[in-house]
């Protein structure tokens, strides 16, 4: 387990800092879930976007303390591109953090699996743009967070996931029909809130960007306010991406 500290500021913000959670998809053809959450776990905004421009505009508008993205945000060690014909392809399609997650029972899709390449490249480009603008960016897996916190995944049912997030302390989820992309974005944002509260751990080296998940050494109830839960946060050996 690596230690990565949340950001600190020398000057207080003029308004409460937020977290932006992004359930990124491979391109604008598909809906990306975007959630903005206060540090108290209350949703400020929840919607679907498609373009990088819309994502960056939302980040600029809300000035978050951290941006939590569900996508691989780095290439495998030893790779400098995703070209299968390049010499660097001998380094493989999995990052060390992917292997660690697999050994822990989470089984993420390999970063450069052909069906993942566009998502990975988009995630890296977005991460680099945000970091160049001075933003703190973390990588998250909604399914991993849901498993640790004992929240049902979207594969079980959308309503079960919505209820699980409510029980985890998330407030302000709209009563309208919610997509699984949006609820996974809410989970991303919740992970960011826990990161700011120093209640997370980092899987792997944290370089060049940390893969953050709720601390597994404790038992969770309402993660936003604390407490003890009947759920143990056991790992489910299921695929995370999707």
CB half-sphere exposure, 68, CA atoms < 13 A = 31
* pTM for the full predicted model: 0.87
pLDDT above 90 as % of the chain: 78
Neighbours of 40 (CB within 10 A): 12
Return the domain boundaries, the chain. Answer: 18-214
pLDDT band at 234 (very low <50, low <70, confident <90, very high): very low
pLDDT of residue 222: 78
pLDDT band of 241, cuts 50, 70, 90: very low
Segment (H or E) for 32: strand 32-38
161 has a pLDDT exceeding 50 = yes
Residue 158 pLDDT more than 50? Answer: yes
pLDDT at residue 191, as a whole number: 97
**For residues 136-142, average pLDDT:** 97
- 72-114: per-residue pLDDT in tens? 999 999 999 999 999 999 999 999 999 999 999 887 899 999 9
For position 12, what pLDDT does the model report? 47
DSSP string of 164-197, one letter each residue: HHHHTT-B---SS---HHHHHHHHHHHHHHHHHT
Which CATH fold topology does 18-214 show? Nucleotidyltransferase; domain 5 (3.30.420)
What is the pLDDT averaged over residues 149-167? 90
Reply yes or no on whether the pLDDT at 228 is more than 60: no
State the pLDDT confidence band at 220, using cuts at 50, 70 and 90: confident
- pLDDT of the residue at 225: 66
Residue 223: predicted pLDDT: 83
Phi, psi dihedrals of residue 77, rounded to the nearest 5°? -55, 135
pLDDT: which is higher, 53 or 235: 53
Burial string for 170-196 (b: 16+ CB within 10 Å, else e) reads: bebbeeeebbbbbbbbbbbbbbbbbbb
């Amino acid at each position: 387990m690596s230690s990565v500290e949340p950001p600190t500021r020398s000057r207080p913000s003029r308004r409460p800092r937020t977290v932006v959670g992004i359930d990124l998809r491979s391109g604008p053809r598909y809906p990306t879930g975007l959630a903005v959450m206060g540090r108290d776990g209350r949703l400020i905004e929840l919607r679907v976007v498609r373009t990088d421009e819309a994502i960056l505009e939302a980040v600029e508008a809300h000035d978050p303390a951290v941006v939590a993205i569900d996508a691989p945000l780095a290439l495998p060690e030893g790779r400098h591109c995703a070209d299968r014909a390049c010499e660097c392809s001998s380094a493989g399609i999995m990052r060390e953090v992917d292997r660690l997650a697999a050994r822990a029972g989470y089984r993420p899709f390999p970063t450069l699996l052909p069906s993942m390449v566009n998502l990975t490249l988009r995630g890296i480009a977005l991460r680099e743009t945000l970091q160049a603008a001075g933003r703190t960016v973390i990588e998250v897996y909604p399914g991993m967070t849901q498993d640790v916190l004992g929240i049902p995944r979207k594969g079980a049912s959308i309503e079960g996931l919505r209820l699980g997030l409510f029980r985890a302390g998330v407030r302000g989820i709209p009563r309208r029909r919610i997509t699984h992309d949006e609820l996974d974005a809410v989970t991303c944002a919740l992970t960011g809130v826990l990161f700011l509260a120093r209640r997370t751990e980092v899987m792997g080296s944290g370089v060049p960007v940390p893969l953050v998940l709720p601390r597994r050494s404790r038992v969770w109830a309402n993660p936003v306010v604390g407490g003890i839960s009947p759920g143990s946060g056991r790992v489910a050996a299921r695929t995370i991406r999707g």
